[in-house]
Every structure is written in C-alpha cells, then in structure tokens.
Structure 1
Amino acid sequence: MMFDKLKTINNPELLRLSGINDIIFNKILKILKTEEVKKFKNGGTPNKLSLENRLLMTLEYWREYRTYFHIAKSYGISESSCYRNIKWIENTLVMFSNLCNLQK
C-alpha cells in the first residue's frame, strides 16, 4: 500500500497495517528526514519513492516477512532498490538507537 492511500485510514488501521501508530511513524520519519538531508548534502540521485513510502515499505517487510521481490513489485521499483532502501532505513535506525544509548 502506498503512503497516499494511508492518509485516508485511521490510526487503528495504520497500527494493524504497519505495527506502529501514527505518532511513532512520524517520529521515525523525522529521524530519517534528518539523516537523508545529511546523506544528500553533497549531491546524489534522488530516490524514486518518497521517504514515507520507503518507511512504510520497510515496516511491511518487518511485519509481513514478504520477499524483496514482492514488495518491490508492489511499489514499482527493482528488487535491488527495495533491498537498498530497507537496509538504509534499518542501518539508520540502528545507528540512531546506538547514539541514544550512548548519551544515557
């Protein structure tokens, strides 16, 4: 499901679809936006999918254990692009989590 369609569903449906509520979704999105700005500050090719769609794609991967092939077909991208996007989000969130733990 693309993020555009997600705007029309309510919070309990988002929770059922992705496993997280809209507050957590937006917090994660804020972290990823900050890191993406850092990633592309020296240039680079913009991603075909919005960050919201990439996060939703990652959450679907984690929740449903769908293959990269099937998720990629759902979002209209290549399997390798799907893999790269999911791995970047995973690595970014792990890095952020580690930084938060170091600050405590």
Structure 2
Amino acid sequence: MNLTQFEWVFQMESDGNGVILDVRTEEECNDGIIPNAINIDIYQGQVFIDKLEALDKTKNYYVYCRSGARSEKACAVMNNLGFKNAFNLLGGFLDWDGEVVSPED
C-alpha cells in the first residue's frame, strides 16, 4: 500500500508493531537513513529474498527507497512472500523531510 509521508509517519508512530525497512544500496544509505531503519538492498536478488524470509511476517513494514519505485516493488515481493502489511513511502528518501541519521548511529 502506498502512503504519503504524512500518512506513513502518522501510522508508523502509532504502530507498536512497526519496522522501518530501507531497500536502497549501501552507497545510497551512506547519504543518511531514516532513524531505526533496517537496510536490505533490493538489488541483491536472492539474498534480498532470503533476508526478507528471515523477517517476522507478523510485523508491519514501512518500506522506502530513493524515490519510491523500488520500495513499491519490494512491498509487492513482500506481499507475495506472505507479509500482511508492507507500506510504501511515496516519493521515497528524496522527498523525506523528517529526521535523517548516518547509518552508523
């Protein structure tokens, strides 16, 4: 499901079962990440699928990439793998105006 930044943040902040998932490359993450995000690079193919399979499918996933296209695909993959709730951030990190931290924080 696609959500605007306002909807994504509002829903995530009131979600006690939410996980933020960043599907960008490591190089992109070096420019900053949304706080508490887990990075799993969608370009890793089967490794990406394997890492998704290791996640708790009962949680709600708030997914983003650079512009929203890869994260939309990631949400579709997650739905096909049995994840019930995967929410795509429309506009991605490019349009994000919330807090940003370095990946090491």
Query: What interval of TM-score do these two structures reach, taking the shorter chain for normalisation?
Result: under 0.3
- TM-score normalised per structure 1: 0.26
- TM-score normalised per structure 2: 0.26
Q: Choose 1 or 2 for highest CA Rg.
A: 1
Per residue, is there more helix in 1 or in 2? 1
Higher relative contact order (CA 8 A, sep 6+): 2
Per residue, is there more strand in 1 or in 2? 2
